[in-house]
Structure 1
Amino acid sequence: MATTISDRISDLETVLYWEGEIDNQRIRELLGVQPVWASRLMAELVKHMGDRAFRQTRNAPLRFLPSKAERNKKSSPDDYLRVIGQQVTGNLFVEDARLDLSVISPEVFIAVMQAIKNKSGLTIVYRSMNDPNGSVRQIFPHAMIRAPRRWHVRAWCAKRQDFRDFTLGRITSVKMLSDVATHLRNEDKDWNETVSFYILPHPGLTPDQQAMISAEYFPGASARKLSVRRCLAAYIIQDLRLATDVAKHTSPEYQLFVPDALKLKLTFDAS
């Protein structure tokens, strides 16, 4: 949970937005503060919300009054999950079932971050599907990537003479280099290029099933357009379980598909 007053009010607004109401007891549960502080924060929240929230009496819960724009806003409850996931006491009634499967050495993480900040290189031993026993690489990182299931680093690879993605959990050893990077982020074409593609209900579903999927993922529309960095598109397709070939990726195991994935070359490059 945030520590500054403004950040705490922002977090409380997030809870109010997603729970519909909030009272002093809920503020105490979330922040672990004494009643007097909960009252002060409630007063600040009431002032901050203005006519977007109301309460019938001074001791009644503050209730959210979303505007039309806020009702139509396509937002995610992930911020809400972040806030309530850090509450000090009380019952957590939302379970985060997402799993981070990666096991990352702090030494590796720190070395990569330092190399990015210093625009320097690393010598790593990296295991890949093509070389599962590992090989020595020299890389020059420029960005860290937090994918849903694991962490990656985007770096210039001296062996491949190209920018590639490396999974942090597959780096078994790391050593800082004094060499300064000669290939920087602004030269990474696939990092700087944005690719757009559409997501549609899988054509193998029945019309009623397709209508249900549309209502769930893009209400009021027949498709949804995503725009992402080209080098991240394959991760997004994999993690959202999007079919790229309806003959191979059949329904109902796959419920969404990207019609132009093969044409757009939204595939992984071997590191």
Structure 2
Amino acid sequence: MPSANSQPNATRRRRSSPDMSAAQRLRLRFLESVVVWEGAVHRQRLVEMFGVTENHVSRDFKLYTGRHPHNLTYDLSRKRYLPTAKFRPQYASGSADEYLAMLRMVCDSGDVRLPGMPAPTEADVVPLTCGGVDAKTLQAITRAITDRTGLEVVYQSMRRPEPAKHSLWPHALVFSGTRWHARAYDLDAGSFRDFVLSRLTVKASLTQDCPEGAPERDAEWTSRVELEVKPAGRLSGPQRQAIAREYGMSGGAGKEKWTLSLRTCLVPYFLHLHRLDSKDRKPFLELADPSLVERHRFPDP
């Protein structure tokens, strides 16, 4: 299997292919990233990700296997490409941050079709955290999600002084707005809950099936909550209008609102991110139904 720590000078290699379009290079980068982290890739994954035809994707795979014949092998039974023992990424960096950024791009926009890129615009961002997710940890979790297998881990909770062992069956990754979590069934707690990736160390794989069955039994993942958010009542009229523009709210003056539907397990993160979980934080927003705060607190670990 490919190593998550194999990180060639991807930038230099990408620039060495002037005959390849930027869009095609991006698709090959995504192809390799999926192989590194999920252990396999099929054509339909690229079709759905980029909104292109199967003919486009077939040409991508033909180009890739022609240029790098020792990287992938086709599994007829699974109808997908697998990495060979000699696999080395040529377009992807192989870093955890790259894969997570791709996932976040999908979560944020739902559409990553990129036309020809114009000249870059000056921009920068405030980093969310200084640390990162361990590459081997992320790889083990994404493989477990793909294969529906379990993991024995050690997790450091912030509500307990010492780390503790857990038997987890992860089924999804969650970005809370500040950091990444694994959504998993926790055998010790007997429930589905979230685990911060950077606080988790994988010790071993578990071959037995999830005691709770399919991920579809995670009620807080499959159910949704409707929220209505509006500018805080303490704001002046012009301030309310400014907040309404900032958050893309609908409704006229005095009736501004932001309506959204979230998975139930994501509601506490949303409330905390937008400072809606405590009146002491004096947010610029408020809930139309304040009782949501009490009904959607973070669960105890």
TM-score range, shorter chain: 0.5 to 0.7
What is residue 226 of structure 1 aligned with on the other side? 260
How far apart are residue 175 of structure 1 and its match? Answer: 1.5
CA contact (8 A) 1:199 1:256 kept: yes
Find 1:199's aligned residue among 229, 248, 254. Answer: 229
Find 1:189's aligned residue among 215, 219, 237. Answer: 219
Q: Classify 1:6/1:146 alpha carbon distance in 2 versus 1 (closer, same or farther; 3 Å).
A: closer
The DSSP-based 3-state class of the residue aligned with 1:3 is helix
Residues 69-148 of structure 1 aligned to structure 2 (within 5 Å): 91-148=120-177
Matched, 1:269 2:299: yes
Matched, 1:162 2:191: yes
Q: State the distance in 2 between where 1:96 and 1:190 align.
A: 32
Q: State the distance in 2 between where 1:161 and 1:128 align.
A: 17
Find 2:203's aligned residue among 174, 182, 197. Answer: 174
What is residue 217 of structure 1 aligned with on the other side? 247
Q: State the distance in 1 between where 2:166 and 2:227 align.
A: 33
Aligned length: 196
Letter in 2 for 1:122: L
Matched, 1:258 2:287: yes
Q: State the distance in 1 between where 2:128 and 2:216 align.
A: 33
The DSSP-based 3-state class of the residue aligned with 2:182 is strand
Find 2:181's aligned residue among 142, 152, 172. Answer: 152
How far apart are residue 91 of structure 1 and its match? Answer: 4.8
CA contact (8 A) 2:231 2:285 kept: yes
How far apart are residue 114 of structure 1 and its match? Answer: 1.4
CA contact (8 A) 2:140 2:202 kept: no
The DSSP-based 3-state class of the residue aligned with 1:196 is strand
The DSSP-based 3-state class of the residue aligned with 1:148 is coil
The DSSP-based 3-state class of the residue aligned with 2:138 is helix
Letter in 2 for 1:3: Q
CA contact (8 A) 1:194 1:229 kept: yes
Q: State the distance in 1 between where 2:112 and 2:130 align.
A: 19
Q: State the distance in 2 between where 1:158 and 1:113 align.
A: 19
The DSSP-based 3-state class of the residue aligned with 2:168 is strand
How far apart are residue 156 of structure 1 and its match? Answer: 0.6
TM-score (norm 2): 0.57
TM-score (norm 1): 0.62
CA offsets, 1:152-208, max 9 Å, x none? 111111111010111101103432112221322111000000101111111222233
Letter in 1 for 2:259: K
How far apart are residue 2 of structure 1 and its match? Answer: 2.2
Q: State the distance in 1 between where 2:136 and 2:192 align.
A: 23
Q: State the distance in 2 between where 1:258 and 1:113 align.
A: 35
What is residue 3 of structure 1 aligned with on the other side? 24
CA contact (8 A) 2:174 2:183 kept: yes
**CA RMSD, aligned part only?**
3.3
Q: Classify 1:120/1:91 alpha carbon distance in 2 versus 1 (closer, same or farther; 3 Å).
A: closer
Letter in 1 for 2:145: I
How far apart are residue 214 of structure 1 and its match? Answer: 1.8
Letter in 1 for 2:262: V
CA contact (8 A) 1:101 1:149 kept: no
Q: Classify 1:96/1:192 alpha carbon distance in 2 versus 1 (closer, same or farther; 3 Å).
A: same
How far apart are residue 80 of structure 1 and its match? Answer: 11
Which consecutive residues of structure 1, in runs of 5 or more, have no partner in the other structure?
8-76
How far apart are residue 219 of structure 1 and its match? Answer: 4.6
CA offsets, 1:22-73, max 9 Å, x none? xxxxxxxxxxxxxxxxxxxxxxxxxxxxxxxxxxxxxxxxxxxxxxxxxxxx
Q: Classify 1:202/1:174 alpha carbon distance in 2 versus 1 (closer, same or farther; 3 Å).
A: farther
Which consecutive residues of structure 2, in runs of 5 or more, have no partner in the other structure?
1-21, 29-107
Find 2:281's aligned residue among 249, 264, 270. Answer: 249
Q: Classify 1:174/1:260 alpha carbon distance in 2 versus 1 (closer, same or farther; 3 Å).
A: farther
Q: Among all aligned residue pairs of Structure 1 and Structure 2, give the percentage whose two residues are the same amino acid.
A: 24
Letter in 2 for 1:114: R
The DSSP-based 3-state class of the residue aligned with 2:227 is strand
Q: State the distance in 2 between where 1:163 and 1:122 align.
A: 14
